[in-house]
Amino acid sequence: MPLLRGVPFRRKSPLKRGPYSTENHTQAEATKEAQRAGIEHAKASGERYKGRKPSFTRSQLKMVQDMLGQEAGVSAIAKTTGLSRQTIYRIRDDAASSEAALATWGQ
């Protein structure tokens, strides 16, 4: 059993229980359906669905790639560029997709 400050405790079940769990599930389903409808509308009207806008600019992408080439740590890169560590990991693991996302959004 895990310890919290030296005292054994039980983790709560990952299943949501309580008076608001049904409302939360219903709201999540409604949000997903609205997103699907928006994507279908964009495709039907001839617009290209671009996905989510990248959280980084082309200059930030270049800086990240340069620092990765110099074997800088992810945390150091994140602090320098102002991006999250997760964004740095995404750029590091799939640079082509990062470039493609910027191109799609015209950046």
- Is residue 2, in this structure, part of any structural domain at all? no
**Which burial class, exposed, middle or buried, applies to 64 when counting CB atoms under 10 A from its CB (0-12, 13-18, 19+)?**
buried
| 46 and 71 within one domain | no
Could you report the per-residue pLDDT of 81-91, keeping only the tens digit for each? 999 999 999 99
Cβ proximity of 51 and 104 under 8 Å: yes
Q: What is the extent of the structural domain holding 37?
A: 21-50
With respect to residue 4, please indicate whether it lies within any of the assigned structural domains. Answer: no
- Lowest mean pLDDT: which of 32-36, 50-54, 93-97? 50-54
Q: Do 78 and 50 form a contact (C-beta atoms < 8 A)?
A: no
Distance CA 91, CA 56 (A): 10
State the pTM of this model. 0.62
**Residue 41: inside a domain:** yes
Burial class (CB in 10 A: 0-12, 13-18, 19+), 66: exposed
